[in-house]
Amino acid sequence: MGMSVGGGHDEDEVVSAINTTPLVDVMLVLLIIFLITIPVATHTVKVTLPKDTNQPSKVLPGNITLAVTPDGQAYWNQTPLRDRDDLMARLAQVAVEKPQPQIMIRGDASARYESVGRLIAACQEAGVTRVDFVIEQPHTN
Q: Which domains does the chain have, with CATH numbers?
A: 64-133 (3.30.420.270)
Q: Is pLDDT of 28 > 90?
A: yes
Tens-digit pLDDT profile for residues 39-57: 766 666 676 766 666 666 6
C-alpha span between 116 and 122 (Å, rounded): 10
Residues 108-121 have a mean pLDDT of 90
Tens-digit pLDDT profile for residues 79-99: 999 999 999 999 999 889 888
C-alpha span between 65 and 59 (Å, rounded): 10
Q: Is pLDDT of 2 > 80?
A: no
**Contacts of 77 by beta carbon, 8 Å cutoff, 6+ apart:** 64, 65
Find the range with the poorest average confidence among 64-68, 73-77, 115-119, 132-136: 132-136
